[in-house]
């Protein structure tokens, strides 16, 4: 069996494993919704339920199937979900699939740019800190990273918003447009600066410290010591020898950081009023919108599983010695 075939089989096994995981997560959401005191009929009527006739309320309960066993409700939802019908959002008064379709692109844009910037910062600052170990530069970088690790994302977002949007007025503070102006590439780019910067700053410290630690360990390996003994300049030793071996464990960190990335995006989108999926998650939770919240939770679970798979595949491609029988 070739290496490519082995990686393909690994991907198929992981995807097959993801199916029961998603089923368990989605069913658990139905169990929690059934056990909660929330009544979707009361949420639908609001105060109007006082004047609603018992016959109308009973008919609506029968049409929605809210009194049926949880297994029956879940099976009905699953049959519709596989066809793309995820139900209707009570809080946004739209089909759940339409809510996700309208907002997914904005979240992908924010997360992809923010995560890429975090990776670049992690590699550059981590390499500089390891290269100048013990210097004021190393202490400044590591001290700043430890401080940012302890700082809540929403606190960083509010501080950046206060300084750069409210006090200095250098950049817009929220949304994707200002007032009634049409959506344009330049306007979106300007509105992205602050949320992207906060998302990257919240993720970069883990990458910086991880790269620094792995580089310091690489400096003690024989091939790096041998390169220095041959008289190679430090920057070539670091970039051509130490950094190359340090990046292999770094690939596994990418998948591990996805849950934190999703949480960070949720807070960043809320602080900066970014019209993405994460903000819709907050709205669904605040309004007890189980249809939207359940679909977004299952989607987030799928993203984490795919991210872990991608990290394993990249690691296997980068290091042929990795066994693929797991």
Ordered domains of the chain (ranges, CATH): 101-289 (1.10.3720.10)
Q: What is the pLDDT of residue 224?
A: 65
Q: What is the pLDDT of residue 274?
A: 85
**Burial group, residue 67, by CB count within 10 angstroms (0-12, 13-18, 19+):** exposed
Phi, psi (degrees; rounded to nearest 5) at 178: -110, 120
Q: What is the pLDDT of residue 295?
A: 87
Contacts of residue 239, Cβ cutoff 8 Å, sequence gap at least 6:
127
Q: What is the pLDDT of residue 179?
A: 62
Contacts of residue 163, Cβ cutoff 8 Å, sequence gap at least 6:
none
Contacts of residue 160, Cβ cutoff 8 Å, sequence gap at least 6:
194, 197, 198
d(CA 286, CA 107): 20
- Show the tokens assigned to 100: 């996700």
d(CA 71, CA 257): 34
d(CA 18, CA 12): 10
d(CA 22, CA 66): 23
Provide the 3-class DSSP secondary structure of residue 95: strand
Return per-residue pLDDT of the chain as tens, 326 residues: 676 677 778 778 888 888 899 999 889 888 887 777 776 776 666 666 666 777 777 777 777 677 778 888 888 888 888 888 888 887 778 888 888 888 888 888 988 999 889 989 988 898 888 888 888 998 999 999 998 888 888 888 899 888 888 888 888 877 777 666 667 777 788 888 899 999 999 888 988 988 888 888 777 766 666 766 676 666 666 666 566 666 666 676 776 777 778 778 888 888 888 888 877 887 787 777 788 888 888 888 888 888 778 777 777 776 666 555 55
d(CA 255, CA 249): 11
Asked if 228 and 143 touch (Cβ cutoff 8 Å), the reply is no
């Amino acid at each position: 069996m070739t290496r490519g075939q082995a990686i393909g089989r690994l991907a198929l096994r992981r995807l097959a494993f993801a199916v029961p995981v998603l089923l368990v997560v989605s069913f658990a959401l139905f169990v929690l919704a059934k056990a909660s005191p929330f009544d979707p009929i009361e949420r639908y009527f609001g105060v109007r339920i006082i004047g609603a006739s018992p016959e109308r309320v009973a008919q609506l309960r029968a049409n929605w199937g809210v009194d049926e066993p949880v297994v029956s409700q879940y099976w009905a939802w699953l049959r519709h979900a596989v066809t793309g019908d995820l139900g209707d959002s009570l809080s946004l008064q739209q089909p759940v699939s339409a809510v996700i379709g309208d907002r997914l692109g904005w979240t992908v844009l924010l997360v992809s740019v923010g995560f890429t910037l975090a990776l670049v910062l992690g590699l550059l600052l981590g390499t500089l800190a390891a290269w100048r170990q013990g210097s004021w530069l190393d202490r400044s970088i590591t001290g700043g990273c430890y401080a940012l690790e302890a700082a809540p994302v929403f606190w960083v977002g509010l501080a950046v918003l206060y300084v750069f949007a409210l006090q200095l007025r250098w950049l817009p503070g929220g949304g994707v447009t200002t007032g009634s102006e049409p959506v344009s590439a330049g306007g979106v780019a300007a509105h992205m600066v602050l949320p992207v910067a906060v998302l990257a700053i919240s993720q970069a410290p883990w990458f910086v410290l991880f790269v620094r630690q792995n580089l310091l360990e690489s400096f003690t390996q024989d091939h790096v010591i041998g390169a220095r003994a041959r008289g190679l300049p430090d920057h070539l030793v670091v970039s051509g020898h130490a950094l190359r071996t340090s990046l292999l464990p770094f690939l596994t960190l990418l998948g591990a950081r996805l849950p934190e990335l999703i949480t960070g995006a949720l807070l960043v989108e809320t602080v900066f009023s970014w019209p993405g999926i994460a903000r819709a998650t907050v709205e669904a939770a605040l309004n007890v919108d189980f249809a939207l919240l359940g679909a977004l939770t299952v989607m987030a679970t799928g993203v984490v599983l795919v991210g872990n798979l991608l990290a394993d595949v990249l690691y296997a491609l980068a290091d042929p010695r990795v066994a693929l029988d797991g």
